[in-house]
Structure 1
Amino acid sequence: MSLKHKIIEQFDPNGVGAYDSLFGLPFDEETADLIIIPVPWEVTVSYASGTASGPEAIFQASSQVDLFEQDIHDAWKMGIYMLPIPDDLADKSSSFRILARNYINWLEEGSPAISAERFAAVPEIINNACEEMNEWVYEQAKKYRAKGKMVALIGGDHSTPLGLIKALSEEYNSFGVLQIDAHADLRKAYENFEYSHASISYNALKLPQLSKLVQVGIRDYCQSEAITAKENNRITTFYDKDIKENMYEGKAWKVICDDIVGKLPEDVYITIDIDGFDPKLCPNTGTPVAGGFEMEQILYLMKQVVKSGKKIIGFDLVEVAPGVEGDEWDGNVGARILYRMANLFGASQGKLNLK
């Protein structure tokens, strides 16, 4: 009997979580099929902060998530393990965040010439720091992919998954990205930061293997992003306003989901910015926007992706931010999204059976 089977035999999925691990599961990086990379980073956030604490908030709330899934039998047996949160990355994020915030404030004040020399070098410093973060994520993803593991990521802000997407792009000649988000994130070097949280989709599109970007729920974007989305034939955007108008006029969510899934290629990476959901589910996220989706709407869409036969090759969940001390709501919601996405990922990869 393998070590993993012994662990499964000895674990009670109905009991109190006795393990100090993600979802209270008994697995480690050797016995889990899915490795979660936590990235406590939010250097370029341009509104509210807090997303660097997202991985920890999700981890703490995860012990309250029941492991039973009605349509995926024994889902927990696949094994999910979150790597230790890298304190050094969190410290760097805090340090560089101060520098970036001061620079953003200077931009918002009209870039007064009297301070121009003081801030001249900031974009390069921040870009270098963010590039190092992306390289760390890339190396972590490559390491565990080489071991045959499925890999997912929790941010941090939305700049954090680029290294994972890059690592996967080296394994697939062609793949798509399904983006759940309130924002298009198609800005080029927003606020002069090449790896801005508002530039993740722009940066991902630099990868030639990315054949299709399908955006869902977009409702806060600038004119240049709208033009890019319209003129780039690799992008299809399902705007929140259009989705809602179609639903108000009688179009079923199932039909809309079929339309979305139909735009995706066979291999799909999924990036979920929590602000794509209704703000009542993520009130402390960095840039909340009225509108968005219920949790089960998006998880239904993800189930349809799997049922269509398309293969999920990786995913991330970003921009979860805890509130004041004692407020675990955002982490609670994030943990439930993460668990369901992990199991749908496993079903897509043939590790679990989806009814």
Structure 2
Amino acid sequence: MASLSLDQKLAQFDPNALGDTSGGLYGLPFTPAEAQVVVVPVPWEVTVSYRSGTAEAPEIIREASLQVDLYDADLPDAWRMGLAMEDIDETIAAESRELRPQAEQYIGWLVDGSPAEAAGAHTQVPTRINQRGQALLEWLKAKTGALLDAGKGVVVLGGDHSTPLGYLHALAERHEEFGILQIDAHCDLRPAYEGFEFSHASIMYNALKLPQVKKLVQVGIRDYCQQEAELIEQSNGRVALFADRFLQAEMLGGKSWKKECKKIIAQLPQKVYLSFDIDGLDPKLCPGTGTPVPGGLEFEQALYLLRLVVRSGRTIIGCDLNEVAPGDTEWNAIVGARLLYHMANWMGVSQGRLAARDAE
């Protein structure tokens, strides 16, 4: 039987029906070649330093996406834009599974005080893992770069928060300058954390090595070390910190979330990359994430900020979602799938792929 054309798929698809398990992400009928926005899964979590499981995120989010209703009052025809996820690269997943125990044993050795009698088994681990981290960067840079050159919007779905670095490199080759909006519980500004250059705790330190990144705006932060605080203070304004404590104090003092969002957005340049670590949300929304921290944004607070960024006229040139882990409940994937849908759609709006209703 001949395959259906894109026009035929659009005509025959029922957005009100049950999620089609034979379809793609969210049960949508699009292939990555047909979709305007493509999700690139990166099942990698080699350097996580507390709890693991984030490498499973692309699969559990794909499964949970079938339960997501596609209607959005602001974006009633969002599904027609075309959203699809590439197949999970099993080679990447297998390498992550192979390297993760080595990193875990090495971290355990550090925690034990690096006893000399066990040094031989561990001293080469950082070098080995750093080499593979560089290879992952180059792989993702090439993959996302090809999609960008094909005119696609791209979302990277980790994995841990180290995963999108290659995508940032690809964007840096295609944009003279842009800012990063990071929603996170952690600053991720540690240089080569625990000896791992491409640690999940070092993603923004590595991103700042790119001269095209003119601004890093961090929102929801509530766990960071003195070294990171000093880096922010010495950044000459390149890094703007909106810590959770500050945001909560402002609102407890009577200021609105809308006013806080406007302050955040005022720090952003015209082109914005959104990096969303799900632990930036209140941990009741992501209890399985690797390093949960009390506090954080509510789901609708995060979406409100996202919508205001787009309605401000800024362009989201790319985004990532990371650190979703299954934990002991499907709740993590349920939240992650819905967050991913909104992120992809609003990025599409900002890029002119999808029209939004006027804000009230």
2:274 counterpart of 1:270: yes
Q: Do residues 120 (structure 1) and 157 (structure 2) align? A: no
| CA–CA distance in structure 2, aligned partners of residues 83 and 294 of structure 1 | 29
Is 1:84 aligned to residue 87 of structure 2? yes
Q: For residues 156-197 of structure 1, what are the alpha-carbon distances to aligned partners after superposition, in whole Å with 9 as ceiling and x for unaligned? A: 000000011110111110100000000000000000000000
Query: How many angstroms does 1:17 deviate by?
Result: 2.0
> Do residues 323 (structure 1) and 359 (structure 2) align?
no
2:14 counterpart (1, 7, 12)? 12
User: Identical aligned pairs, as a percentage?
Assistant: 53
**How many residues end up aligned between the 2 structures?**
352
Q: What is aligned with 1:102?
A: 105
CA distance in structure 2 between the partners assigned to 1:140 and 1:152 by the alignment: 12
CA distance in 2, matches of 1:253, 1:280: 20
Structure 1 equivalent of residue 5 of structure 2: 3
Question: Hey, what does 2:54 align to over in structure 1?
Answer: 51
Matches within 5 A, 1:134-173: 134-173=137-176
Aligned mates of 1:20, 1:49 — CA distance in 2: 29
Which of 236, 243, 255 is the aligned partner of 2:240? Answer: 236
Q: Using the TM superposition, give the Cα deviation of residue 91 of structure 1 relative to its aligned residue in structure 2, in angstroms.
A: 0.9
Q: 3-state DSSP class of the match of 1:288?
A: coil
- What SS class does the counterpart of residue 220 from structure 2 fall into? strand
1:345 aligns with 2:325: no
TM-score under structure 1 normalisation? 0.98
Q: TM-score, normalised by structure 2?
A: 0.96
Counterparts of 1:25 and 1:43, CA distance in 2: 31
Match of 2:296 among 292, 297, 318: 292
Task: Provide the C-alpha distance between the structure 2 equivalents of 1:299 and 1:5, rounded to a whole number of angstroms.
Answer: 31
Superposed CA deviations along residues 67-106 of structure 1, whole A, max 9, x for unmatched, are: 0010113000000010011111111101100100000000
What is the match of residue 219 of structure 1? 222
Match of 1:334 in 2: 336
Q: Distance in 2 between matches of 1:227 and 1:37?
A: 34
- Equivalent residue, structure 1, for 2:187: 184
Contact 1:33 1:80 in 2 (8 A): yes
Q: Which runs of 5+ in 2 are unaligned?
A: none
Whole-Å Cα distance in 1 between the matches of residues 307 and 117 of structure 2?
55
**Deviation (angstroms), 1:5:** 2.1
Gaps of 5+ in 1: none
> Does the aligned pair in 2 maintain the 1:73–1:352 contact within 8 Å?
no
| 1:302 corresponding residue in structure 2 | 306
How far does residue 116 in structure 1 lie from its aligned partner after superposition? 1.5
Alignment partner for residue 312 of structure 1, among 297, 312, 316?
Answer: 316
Per-residue deviation at 1:3?
Answer: 3.0
Q: Does 1:129 align with 2:132?
A: yes
**How far did residue 117 of structure 1 move?**
2.2
Cα deviation, 1:99-157, whole Å, max 9, x if unaligned, reads: 00000000000001111222111110010111111111111101111211111110000
SS, match of residue 291 in structure 1: coil
